[in-house]
Structure formats: structure tokens, C-alpha cells
Amino acid sequence: MEEEYLVVDPVSRQLSTRADKVVTEAALQLGDRVTTELTRYQVEVRTHPHTSLIDLGDDLRHIRHAVAHAAARLGLRIISSGTPVLGQHTPPPLAAGDRYAQSLATFRALDHEQTVCACHVHVEIPDLTTALAVSNHLRSWLPALIALSGNSPYWNGYDTGYDSWRTLTWGRWPVAGPPPYFESAAHYEDLLGRLLSSQTLLDRGGVYWDIRPSHHVPTLEIRVADAAPTIDDTLLLAAAVKGLAGTALTAVRDGQPGPRPQAEMLRAACWRAARDGVRGQSIDLASGRLQPASRHLDQLWNIVMPALTPDELTRVHLTGRHAAERGNGAARQRAAYRHRHNYLDVVDHLVQQATA
């Protein structure tokens, strides 16, 4: 898994441009598993590969505490939120590196509103044909994952009205959002070749679809989720992806094709999920009608649960029940704000949640 955090000043609660210093400090403990991201406000980390959610949780706890302690030694804090709560400089200061400079030259002001943080789940599937077939099966579950992981209601000091504003911001990239339905590996390679030759992509790493075969490790990467506020929230997302991918692999091996919702309706369903989260309405891709988002999530867990181990099921039941009571990360950010109608409280809430 990969997580991205924002670095904040504990007094002003504003973003800090010293993320590179936090990375250097945290690297003393984490090595190359911690790095910079597009802006100088962000830190990116990655776990070791795991087969158990329990072991993954231990790894995440070690990483988050290492980064939080590194930030604290510099007089800073970290938060795990899909977007900044308070205002940021526009354009933001970009991290050093040729690729970031090339991105700015190519995509211009698009880079100026990408101070956003995500949570990526990698599933090992070394064979490209199988990975694309699994992607085809997972596409229709993207709205449910967006709703479950929504944790970016605020942008520049105001409430956007969305549970996942990051989804809308990230969707501006030319190759982003739900991936196409791929007929074959040749179909995928041909499309990638056209996107590269038309200079729509800088390189294969610039494919920002919500699901994509990784360009550097033998995995299928599910990258639709906001950065999760707590370790348990990250594990709940990991459980959902693990269960969906395991079920999809079985279907692929049995020769079952993935569902093919209309691309326009899938995009609309993702938009609705980003707006309403887990407590509003979702779009039924089969009928095109609205249904309670809670019903859609029940359908998700009915698919996921049989693919998990007994220990993982126990963990998911406990975490899932707690999340259902409190809502997703966006609901909890708004609850923190309502206490005194103060955005500083939201930042403090996120600082506390980051190592919870």
C-alpha cells in the first residue's frame, strides 16, 4: 500500500513546505519507503508487501508513527486527508526534480490544484492479461470505494459540499477516472502507445486511471481512494480491495467477463459517490436509478466477506461497525468542525487521527 500525508504547522495549522525535511528525518528509520511527492507539502510512504491484513496494520502503524515522530522533531505535524483543510499558496511550491518540472511545463495550471493525497492498494498479479481482466471486474465497484473512503470535504478553508473533493480535482488529468474496459493486453498497449505518442502522457507512470497495472512492480494498483484518516480506515479499504480482487480473480479463472456498465453512467456514479459518500444516494449501474448508498455498500461487503480469512473478518466487522456509526472520514471532519465552527479544530482532529 502507498499513503500520502500533508505536513502542517501545529500553531497556524497551515501547510508547511518542509515536507522534504520530514522525509529526510523519517528516512533514518524507513529508508526508501518514504519519499517526497508533487508539492513540498506532501510525504509519500509505502508498506512492505503483505498477505495478511493484520501484518499490514502493524506495518502501517510503524510507518505512521515514524513519520509523525520525524515531523514532531522538526516542530511539525502530519495529517492524512485527501485535501488541505485550510488555504494553500497557488501555485503551490513543487518538489525538486526533473519530472515535476516537466509535468509543470506540460500540464501547466493543472499542477497548481493537485495538493491532494490518496491511498493506493497494490494487488500482486504479474500477468498483464489477468490484471486487465480483474480491472474489468473491479470497475463497477469504484463508486462504492469512493464513498467508503471519502475524506476530503474541505478545500482552501471552505466546505465543498462533497465527501471526496479530491476525486473531482484528480479527475481533471487527461488520463484519470475509471479505466476503459480492456479487451486484451494488446488493446491496453495500443491505447497507451497512442497516449504517449500524442504527448498526453509524460511516460507510463502518468497513467492516472483509478485502476491501472503498475509500470514498475507486478501489481494491479487500485488508486481511487482518498488518504485515510486512521490506520483502521486504511485497513478497511485494504480489506475491501483484497476481497473484491480475490473474487474477481476467481471469476476470471472461471472465464466470466466483467460487467460493462455504460462509461457515462459509471462516471456519473463516481461523481455521485464523491458528493454523497456513505450516507446519501448512489446510482445503481444496472437500472440507472438512485438507491441508498448504504445498500450499495452492503452489496460490496457481501462480495468481500467470503474472500477474507476468519481473523480478517473479525477485524473488518469491528472496524466496519465503528465506521458505520461515525461515518467516513469526511463525516468525521465535518463533526469536528461543528463543535465550534472552527477549521483549526478539523486540523487538530486530523493530527490526532493520523496515528490512531
- Over the stretch 14-48, which tens digit does the pLDDT of each residue have? 999 999 999 999 999 999 999 999 899 999 999 99
Range of the domain at 170: 2-354
- Grid cell of 162 as nine digits: 462533497
**pLDDT for residue 139:** 98
Position 321 pLDDT exceeds 80: no
- Grid cell of 330 as nine digits: 469526511
The residue to which cell 471469476 is assigned: 251
Name 152's bridge partners: 164
CA nearest to 220, candidates 258, 256, 179: 179
Number of domains in the chain: 1
Residue pLDDT, tens place only, 43-58: 999 999 999 999 999 9
Residue pLDDT, tens place only, 61-88: 999 999 999 999 999 999 999 999 998 7
Q: Which helix (H) or strand (E) holds 120?
A: strand 118-124
**pLDDT for residue 194:** 97
Q: Which DSSP string corresponds to 193-250? A: HHHHHTTS-SSGGG-EESEEE-SSSSEEEEEEEEPPSSHHHHHHHHHHHHHHHHHHHH
**pLDDT for residue 322:** 65
CATH of the domain at 162: 3.30.590.20
